[in-house]
Amino acid sequence: MMKRILLLILLPCLSALLAGCGYNDIQRLDEQVKTTWSQTLNQYERRAELVPKLVNSVNAYMVNERAVLTQVTEARSRVGSIQISAKDLENPELMARFNEAQGQLSSALSRLIAVSENYPQLKSDGLFRDLMTQLEGTENRIATERGRYVQAVQDYNLIVRQFPTLITAKIFGYHTIENYGVSKQDQITKDPEVKFTLPEPGKG
């Protein structure tokens, strides 16, 4: 009975102590990093799902561009072969592979979009235009979510570096996270600019 009373007295004190030393803030920001990265992954997955449909829609028109189509298909396959989640943010090797694969897909899509400009009939195809609209929207969402992720990591890293919360972070095993949105990989994974010129009415 006495132990229970002591526990009831100490728990509020412990909670206040943890809150005062920044533990709760570290937990909140750590969770925010994981959440924003998960949302970013959702958009990358959405883009990956669009790629096979896009390749199929251009296949009949771009008979002389097999190399480009093969590059897009292979890049999509590499992306699909890497299983990753928010728990893998502390795995530099896996994150590097993921960023490289996404970068290769971005480059391949950029080439496909550039080549599509040479095919007026393709640009007039309703399915192709719809897929391009979806792709453009997805790329915009990727950029938005990555921006939120970058900010979340910056906020988290700041609190685990500053005094006195850095002491709490060390005690509980929290450390800074590499911000993959602003490192060298950011140049590799730059999203393709999804813009193409629609044919004028009555042409193409």
Residue 192's pLDDT is 52
Q: What is the pLDDT of residues 32-52, one digit of tens each?
A: 999 999 999 999 999 999 999
- The label of the residue with tokens 């949302």 reads 39
Residue 57's pLDDT is 94
What is the number of structural domains in the chain?
Answer: 1
Residue 114 backbone dihedrals phi, psi, to 5 degrees: -65, -45
Asked, for residue 194, whether it belongs to a domain, the answer is no
pTM of the model: 0.79
Asked, for residue 14, whether it belongs to a domain, the answer is no
Asked, for residue 50, whether it belongs to a domain, the answer is yes
Asked, for residue 150, whether it belongs to a domain, the answer is yes
Concatenating the DSSP letter of every residue in 4-32 gives HHHHHHHHHHHHHHHHHTTHHHHHHHHHH
Asked, for residue 15, whether it belongs to a domain, the answer is no
Asked, for residue 203, whether it belongs to a domain, the answer is no
Residue 133's pLDDT is 95
Q: Is 173 helix (H, G, I), strand (E, B) or coil?
A: coil
Asked, for residue 31, whether it belongs to a domain, the answer is yes
* Dmax (CA) of the chain: 88
Q: What is the pLDDT of residues 120-145, one digit of tens each?
A: 999 899 999 999 999 999 999 999 99
User: What span, in angstroms and rounded, lies between the C-alpha atoms of 145 and 142?
Assistant: 5
The CATH number for 136's domain is 1.20.1440.20
Residue 30 has pLDDT above 80, yes or no: yes
User: What span, in angstroms and rounded, lies between the C-alpha atoms of 99 and 103?
Assistant: 6
User: What span, in angstroms and rounded, lies between the C-alpha atoms of 149 and 181?
Assistant: 8
Beta strand ranges found along the chain (DSSP E): none
Residue 172 has pLDDT above 60, yes or no: yes
Confidence of residue 163 (pLDDT cuts 50, 70, 90): confident
Lowest mean pLDDT among 17-31, 47-61, 139-153: 17-31
Residue 19 has pLDDT above 80, yes or no: no
Asked, for residue 114, whether it belongs to a domain, the answer is yes
Domain encompassing residue 78? 25-188
- The label of the residue with tokens 């890497």 reads 82
- The label of the residue with tokens 């060390």 reads 170
Query: What does each C-alpha distance from 66 to 26, 33, 63, 72, 136 come to in angstroms?
Result: 50, 40, 6, 10, 23
Residue 198 has pLDDT above 60, yes or no: no
Q: Is 201 helix (H, G, I), strand (E, B) or coil?
A: coil
